[in-house]
Structure 1
Amino acid sequence: MDYLVTQPDGELKNYISHYWVGTWNLDSTPPNDSYYVIASSTTEFTFGFSGSGKEDDLLFSIVHGHTQEPLQKMVEGYYHLIGVSIYSHAIPSLFNIPAYDLNREFLPLSIFLGGEGEELNDRIANARTSRERLEILDDYFKGRLKHQRESDVRMLKAIKEVKRFNGNSKIIDLASDSFLSQKQFNRRFKDFSGFNPKTFSKIIRLESAIKNYPAFPSLTELALKVGYYDQAHFIREFKELTGFSPREFWKLSEK
């Protein structure tokens, strides 16, 4: 698979992790008929196509919410995907709903956005290239910023702390720094991020491990670097969140 990542610019960097394009070889692989998701701190807007050419059909568009467990859904066979990864904590600001409402959801874009989603589908389907489609998505989210809700500043600060320490912050300290009781903090954090603080921290630690994997020669060194107690703890939690052992997971990228 060819995989391309593009970073947003300007204010969108605070809301969107990245845009991405994935393409499979039509001549050497069968069409993909399942969509697999691992635990993730981002919500994805994904568009699936029969191929990467301008005449290829848009087969589906989905919103799959941030999740703490792997999910697999059957879809119409595709060879080409275009998507946008949105931080879970951006959901309240961009769409005026608690982030937890999208946790583990898998929805057609037209159901999530109604007529606005159908219009976005038409524009994406009629664009001629992946670049044009990414520009359409970028314009759409820039438009969303004009109507954004005010963020929960204390929860945003807590999320930044969790990410800064690779998911290894002490939750009791985060609550204290937010001037909230543990119960109040947990509730507000869940509404804002889509997860309770402990689960969010586990996912951030996993994402840190995946990001840092190429820099370490052994799983033990990687596990210790990102805050796992030992390699056994790392492997157990990795499999819980992805459905694969670390070695199985990274073999997938070689296909």
Structure 2
Amino acid sequence: MKYYTIQPPDILKPYVRFFWVLEHELSASGSEYVYRSIADGCTEMVFHYQSTFDEINGRGQENGGPSGIQFQTNHYRRFITRQSFGIFGAYIYPFAVPRFFNIPSSETTNLTLDYDTFLGSAGRELEERIMLAPNNQKRAVILTDFLLMRLRYNTFTDDRIITSIRQVIHTNQHKTVAQLADAFNLSARQFDRRFKEYAGFSPKSYLRLIRFQDAIKQYGSNKSLTQIALECGYYDQSHFIHDVKTFTGYHPGFYFSGKAEGTEYRNADLQ
């Protein structure tokens, strides 16, 4: 399995964390690969340029899963393919959704939409160009041009809230909602409403998601689960176990073992 990232140009870095590529060859006839996406406070634009995945629902049934935008979510999902695959994606901040698409993030939470449904003819054209591109560097250029064009026409922005979301994602300070609201000179009610508009979740729910993501970033370290939980702001082991099970479907002991679905790319990244 091959996984790597491509940095966006500086002008896009305030909105796009990185582009990514995941490729895998299924050599044996009749083999399959199951991928499990976990809860995430950011949004992903996903393009399947080699084969496609079907989503496995709660009853074990498979439904078609085309390329599309997977918005910020507090759910895990499962996908399956029986062919070698190649995926190109963009990992974007939730507050970039209003800037790129002129829609509040609060209206997109837990949605997955294909490009035709969400963007119409512009989405269809973008998907076709990405699919026909000769390599992933070119795909990054095509998507960069598309997103820069969207920035020129949309001005949906609230710098204070964007700064607060960045702070939550990157500083690992484990502040309370009241502390964040006070830091940006907003009442708790104002802060909650505006934060949800740009992050897709209430501040309390988003802080929980980011705390979980901070813990997942410790994947591959030699730290004990207890140490990870404490460093990421969990007051006790039971809350840590509950969040990991809710957001991945696995007990943390199994998820961090390297045997869980959807961790293969993390293992490849460690090699």
Q: Which residue of 2 aligns with 1:156?
A: 162
1:18 and 1:119 map into 2 onto residues whose CA distance is 22
Spell out, residue by residue over 1:184-215, the C-alpha distance to the aligned partner (whole angstroms, 9 max, x if none): 21111101111100111011111111223334
2:42 maps to amino acid: T
Q: Which residue of 2 aligns with 1:6?
A: 6
Structure 1 residues 35, 105: closer, same or farther in 2, change over 3 A? farther
Secondary structure of 1:20's counterpart equals: strand
- Stretches of structure 1 that go unaligned for 5 or more consecutive residues are 52-58
Structure 1 residues 164, 10: closer, same or farther in 2, change over 3 A? closer
Q: Which residue of 1 aligns with 2:31?
A: 30
- Which of 144, 147, 170 is the aligned partner of 2:150? 144
- Which of 91, 94, 99 is the aligned partner of 1:88? 94
Spell out, residue by residue over 1:168-187, the C-alpha distance to the aligned partner (whole angstroms, 9 max, x if none): 21101222233322222111
1:187 maps to amino acid: R
| Higher helix proportion | 1
Structure 2 counterparts to residues 171-250 of structure 1, below 5 A: 171-250=177-256
1:192 maps to amino acid: Y
Which is further off, 193-202 or 72-81? 72-81
Secondary structure of 1:14's counterpart equals: coil
Percent identity over the alignment? 35
Contact 1:19 1:134 (C-alpha < 8 Å) held by counterparts: yes
Contact 2:26 2:83 (C-alpha < 8 Å) held by counterparts: no
Structure 1 residues 31, 148: closer, same or farther in 2, change over 3 A? farther
Task: Work out whether 1:69 is the aligned partner of 2:75.
Answer: yes
Contact 1:12 1:142 (C-alpha < 8 Å) held by counterparts: yes
Tell me how far 1:78 sits from its aligned partner: 5.9
- Which of 100, 116, 120 is the aligned partner of 1:114? 120
Secondary structure of 2:157's counterpart equals: coil
Tell me how far 1:98 sits from its aligned partner: 0.3
Q: TM-score, normalised by structure 2?
A: 0.82
Which structure's relative contact order is higher, taking Cα pairs within 8 Å and 6+ residues apart?
2
1:76 and 1:203 map into 2 onto residues whose CA distance is 31
Contact 1:167 1:202 (C-alpha < 8 Å) held by counterparts: no
Task: Please give the root-mean-square deviation of Cα atoms over the aligned residues, in Å.
Answer: 2.5
Tell me how far 1:152 sits from its aligned partner: 0.7
How many pairs does the alignment contain? 248
Structure 1 residues 86, 156: closer, same or farther in 2, change over 3 A? same
Which is further off, 62-71 or 157-166? 157-166
Q: Which residue of 1 aligns with 2:44?
A: 44
- Which of 31, 56, 66 is the aligned partner of 1:60? 66
Which is further off, 121-130 or 194-203? 121-130
Tell me how far 1:149 sits from its aligned partner: 1.3
Tell me how far 1:26 sits from its aligned partner: 2.3
